Amino acid sequence: MKDNRVVALLCTLAIGTAGITGPALAQNVLTTHRLSAGLAAEAVAEAVAACAKQGYRVTAAVVDLDGVDQASLRGDGASMTTLVAAHDKAYTVLMLGASRNEGFERRDRAAQRWRAFGRRLGQAAAHLTAGRRLAH
């Protein structure tokens, strides 16, 4: 008896939802774009191979638009820390909304600023150790 009620309820639900089609159902579906697994795997393999030809031991990573790893490949001889670094670099470029080259350009500009800061800090230390005060 109890089983008949469950079956009847399921049939009622199935019939009730069968009428929802077309635009009503489409409104609740989100469409997103993402690389196929094969293309993501091919991209990381190609990146690791290109770096290996230049003598670099790297890991390559592809993240989707949510920042979730889609594919990664640790090249021969790459240290285990490169796994996290590759993901973090890919995620950072995604979050900055920059292309790969823009991400590298930002990195290079930041490195130049840090080098300039280091030189300035070194000069300040030299002045202080020489007993001179640094002018502001």
Q: pLDDT tens digits, residue range 72-96?
A: 999 999 999 999 999 998 888 888 7
Average pLDDT over residues 129-134: 58
How many other C-beta atoms can be found within 10 angstroms of the C-beta atom of residue 95? 10
Distance CA(81)–CA(48), nearest Å, equals: 15
Q: Which one is predicted more confidently, 17 or 93? A: 93
pTM: 0.53
Measured between its terminal Cα atoms, the distance across the chain in Å is 90
What mean pLDDT is reported for the chain?
A: 76
Alpha helices in the chain (DSSP H): 2-18, 23-26, 37-53, 81-96, 100-129
What pLDDT is recorded for position 20?
A: 52
Q: Which one is predicted more confidently, 77 or 134? A: 77
